[in-house]
């Protein structure tokens, strides 16, 4: 496994729409492992492939230590409620903003073994799912930011 370089705000890569994963190859599985290691090393709770320079629809999320969600070709299929909280991004270290996101979301994705599944998340997990899915569509948390978080 390797720690990958995280693309920073301002890089055009972050504004591109990622392409679907057509086949889960050993290379895709290695990328997922590297993304998990990179996310953990950077102290984050989520990371999308475009953030490491790969335009594929892959994201990893870990809001509870040791419980990693690997999302290949994720699609949010339902959402409910609302939460307004502080949000940051590994591609914009040290900056935070207040954003409005759904309180609960359900996402359909594929795991590394090719199995389709649905994940329902609330609160921080819902926020992380939305944040990472946005990255796959070239959107940043600043696009949904209500206001910057002041120190």
- DSSP letter at 85? E
- The runs of H, that is alpha helices, within the chain are 26-42, 123-136
**Beta bridge partner(s), residue 100:** 84
Catalytic residue among 23, 87, 132, 150: 132
Chain-centre distance for alpha carbon 143? 15
Question: How far apart, in whole angstroms, are the C-alpha atoms of residue 140 and residue 88?
Answer: 10
Active site residue 132: yes
Question: How far apart, in whole angstroms, are the C-alpha atoms of residue 40 and residue 116?
Answer: 25
- The catalytic residues are 132
């Amino acid at each position: 496994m390797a720690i990958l370089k995280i693309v920073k705000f301002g890089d055009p890569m972050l504004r591109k729409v990622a392409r679907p994963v057509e086949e889960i190859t050993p290379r895709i599985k290695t990328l997922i492992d590297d993304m998990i290691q990179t996310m953990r090393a950077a102290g984050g709770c989520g990371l999308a492939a475009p953030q490491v320079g790969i335009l594929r629809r892959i994201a990893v999320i870990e809001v509870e230590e040791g419980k990693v969600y690997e999302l290949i070709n994720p699609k949010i299929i339902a959402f409910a409620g609302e939460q307004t909280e502080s949000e940051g991004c590994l591609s914009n270290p040290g900056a935070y903003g207040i954003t409005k996101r759904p309180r609960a979301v359900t996402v359909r994705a594929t795991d590394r073994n090719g199995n389709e599944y649905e994940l329902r998340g609330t609160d921080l997990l819902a926020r992380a799912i939305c944040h990472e899915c946005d990255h796959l569509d070239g959107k940043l948390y600043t696009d949904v930011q209500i206001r910057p978080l002041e120190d």
